[in-house]
Amino acid sequence: MIATGSVGDGGTAAEYMVKRAARPPAAAPRSAPLDYGGGMDPEGKVIVVTGAAGGIGGALVRALLERGARTVVAADLDGAGVERLREELGAERVLPRVLDVADEQATRALVDDIAATVGAIDVWFANAGLATGSGPDAPDEEWNSQWRINVMSTCTPPVSFYRDGSSGARVTS
């Protein structure tokens, strides 16, 4: 490294770096503990998990039931996958539904159906998604599909279920 010029107190850059290296290390900044406002208690709640047939979705459904959710609607393109969840976890509290989250009409229809048959939705886990692993030169069709599934589908449900006056919350993975 070539150090030229003067820094701050008039020394050269090399002198400055030698002085800085000799200083005791500054104490690591302490960040404030994260405040989640008490967290979300699933007890007694009606909760929708999209992408429920997948790894994170299935784990979410199990965890929410263990923590007392009243009903978990397990929605996915993969109907057989969510049906397996119902068989494993019980028909009383798991409602399997086939849903393409990129289909806004179908999403709204599911919201209406749940409101009419189960009750107002308290929490919507917008978890369905896909990672194609493709880069910037992917065809437009793929970009559009990612946009609809990974982005827009996380916006549609709250707009339609907040109107029910639920304690609506949305979580996106």
Residue 111 · residue 87 · CB < 8 Å = no
Question: Taking CB under 6 A as the rule, does residue 121 contact ligand NAD?
Answer: no
Nearest approach, Cβ of residue 72 and ligand NAD (Å)? 15
55 sits near ligand NAD (criterion: CB under 6 A): yes
Minimal CA–CA distance to 55: which of 78, 22, 34, 21?
Answer: 78
Residues 9-48 that bind ligand NAD (CB under 6 A): none
# residues near ligand NAD by CB under 6 A: 22
Per CB under 6 A, 100 contacts ligand NAD: yes
Judged by CB under 6 A, does residue 157 bind ligand NAD?
no
Q: Which of 65, 69, 77, 123 binds ligand NAD (CB under 6 A)?
A: 77
End-to-end CA distance of the chain: 45
Cα dihedral sign, 158-162-164-168: positive
Cβ atoms 57, 127 nearer than 8 A: yes
Contact flag: residue 129 with ligand NAD (CB under 6 A): yes
- The pair phi, psi for residue 113, each rounded to 5°, is -60, -45
| Least separation in angstroms between CB 166 and ligand NAD | 22
Q: Is 123 in the site for ligand NAD (CB under 6 A)?
A: no
Stretch that binds ligand NAD, among 3-11, 65-73, 95-103, 112-120 (CB under 6 A): 95-103
Give the residue among 117, 129, 115 at the shortest CA–CA distance from 166.
115
73 belongs to the binding site for ligand NAD (CB under 6 A): no
43: nearest Cα among 82, 85, 72, 75? 72
Task: Please tell me whether residue 64 binds ligand NAD under the rule CB under 6 A.
Answer: no
Integer-rounded Cα Rg, in Å, for the chain is 25
Residues engaged in binding ligand NAD (CB under 6 A): 50-51, 53-57, 76-78, 81, 99-102, 127-131, 149, 173
